[in-house]
Amino acid sequence: MRLLDLSEYPVTERRVLVRVDFNVPLSPEGDILDDTRIRACLPTIEHLLDRRAGVVLCSHLGRPRGRPDPRLRLDGVARRLAALLGREVRKLDGVSEPEVAEAVAGLGPGDVALLENLRFYPGEEANDLDFARALAALGEVFVNDAFGTAHRAHASTAGVARYLPAVAGLLMARELRALQRLLEDPERPYVAVLGGSKVADKLPVLENLLPRVDGLLVGGGMANAFLAADGHAVGASQVEAAAVREAGRFLAKASRCGKPVGLPVDVVVAEAIAPDAAFRVVGVDGVPEGWVVVDIGPETARRFAETIATAATVFWNGPLGVAEIEPFARGTEAVARAVGSCRGHTVVGGGDSLAALEKLGLTAAIGHVSTGGGATLEFLEGKELPGVACLLRKGEKT
């Protein structure tokens, strides 16, 4: 991928509009619970400040659906960013208003401003060109460092590139290199571990990875469809008939290609998906009627860990069970430990997978931790991401 990134583009003493992903989790009281996404953008911001650029940051937070929501203002984000940078971050109370343009025009070299939540404005998600043009007027160069929103064709991810030279931020470039390596140049053996609840979300990724990997491991709620397709009863677990058909078709294709698909051999079942529900471990042929599959079992976890340990490349996305409930998180934690211990190149994406790594103190052991959720999956599915397609390629006129 021959994109121009920020390290190759002149920004010294220019005003730069930067799309960042500050969509951080908040407590009910509005406190930031995890500032990982803010920290991830620091290298790009510091690169610009080192070159005395005037930095205009823009982001969304939550889903206000085109209307202002006091609970989703970015004032707290601005305070956290200022603390991390050790310098003032001027929080502006709008995006496209004349007073915002006036405030931005007054920024000096090395100044930092943060616009209000982009999704307070309906023009953002509608990719309205007037809104994009107003955003573009705030900078001389556009830098997209928000890989997590690159799969959205919004005004701040794609529309603004119509009006400004657009380059990849340092985080964006790092994400694309890491994920491209999974598709084009993985060290072998290469194992992909996919969990989560919905077959429809992951099957296109499995399809695109199938000719590229040496093996697949499948867990989580989506594994129920594969187990059902393989002839196992899954009790009261929610499995759609269409998902079972698709899973069966995929297993047949993988068999024809000679690619092993590792499925659970034992599972944790519970009377209900609740912290106080009765649960036990059974073989995949012993799921009681009326019980729900909530996790992979210990033997499956052991086998998955053995496979991961032998891999030279591992990609993991999605929990292996109902990981938000402690008794049903053990399979996910076992896989997290295995990936963290793997000596090969490891890439992990998805909020639940990252939460498991963080809980166990293993994040630093991962080769690349992706900040994208849907963007990561769509990229590995082979889709062109709108927030990437609009960025300048090497050799293009700027």
Amino acid at position 379, single letter: F
Tokens matching residue 27: 């407590």
8-state DSSP, 26: B
CA atoms within 13 Å, Cβ hemisphere of 188 = 8
Cβ neighbors of 176 (< 8 A, separation 6 or more) are 1, 3, 147, 168, 379, 388
Tokens matching residue 205: 């990724």
Burial of 99 (0-12, 13-18, 19+ CB in 10 A): exposed
* Residue entry with tokens 């730069």: 16
The reported pLDDT for the residue numbered 394 is 67
Angle at the Cα of 342 (from 327 to 44), degrees rounded to 5? 95
398 residues of the chain, pLDDT tens digit each? 688 899 999 999 999 999 999 999 998 888 999 898 999 999 999 999 999 999 999 999 999 999 999 999 999 999 999 999 999 999 999 999 999 999 999 999 999 999 999 999 999 999 999 999 999 999 999 999 999 999 999 999 999 999 999 999 999 999 999 999 999 989 999 999 999 988 888 999 999 999 999 999 999 999 999 999 999 999 999 899 999 999 999 999 999 999 999 999 999 999 999 999 999 999 999 999 999 999 999 999 999 999 999 999 999 999 999 999 999 999 999 999 999 999 999 999 988 898 899 999 999 999 999 988 889 999 999 999 999 999 988 666 55
Q: In Å, how far from its chain's centre is CA 36?
A: 12
**Selection from 347, 334, 270, 257 nearest residue 299 by Cα:** 334
The reported pLDDT for the residue numbered 381 is 95
> What does the alpha-carbon distance between residue 179 and residue 372 come to, in Å, rounded to a whole number?
11
How far does the chain reach from its first CA to its final CA, in angstroms? 18
> What does the alpha-carbon distance between residue 51 and residue 141 come to, in Å, rounded to a whole number?
14
> What does the alpha-carbon distance between residue 30 and residue 73 come to, in Å, rounded to a whole number?
9
> What does the alpha-carbon distance between residue 57 and residue 92 come to, in Å, rounded to a whole number?
10
Q: Give 166-223 as a DSSP string.
A: EEE-HHHHHHHHHHHHHHH---SSEEEEE-SS-HHHHHHHHHHHTTT-SEEEE-TTHH
> What does the alpha-carbon distance between residue 377 and residue 97 come to, in Å, rounded to a whole number?
36
Write phi, then psi, for 123 (nearest 5 degrees): -65, -20
Cβ atoms of 135 and 84 closer than 8 Å: no
How far, in Å, are 66, 201, 315, 341, 382 from residue 181 at the CA level?
37, 22, 11, 20, 13
The reported pLDDT for the residue numbered 53 is 98
Domains of the chain in sequence order:
6-174 (3.40.50.1260), 186-381 (3.40.50.1260)
Write phi, then psi, for 282 (nearest 5 degrees): -140, 160
Characterize 8-32 residue by residue with b for buried, 16 or more Cβ atoms within 10 angstroms of its Cβ, and e for exposed.
ebebeebbbbbbbbbbbebeeeeeb
Which runs of consecutive H residues, i.e. helices, occur in the chain?
A: 36-40, 42-50, 75-85, 98-105, 122-125, 129-136, 170-184, 199-209, 222-229, 241-257, 298-309, 330-341, 351-359, 374-381, 386-389
The reported pLDDT for the residue numbered 155 is 98
> What does the alpha-carbon distance between residue 11 and residue 108 come to, in Å, rounded to a whole number?
14
Catalytic site residues?
37, 198, 351, 374
* Residue entry with tokens 């399809």: 207
Cβ neighbors of 165 (< 8 A, separation 6 or more) are 9, 141, 142, 392, 398
How far, in Å, are 46, 118, 205 from residue 18 at the CA level?
12, 13, 30
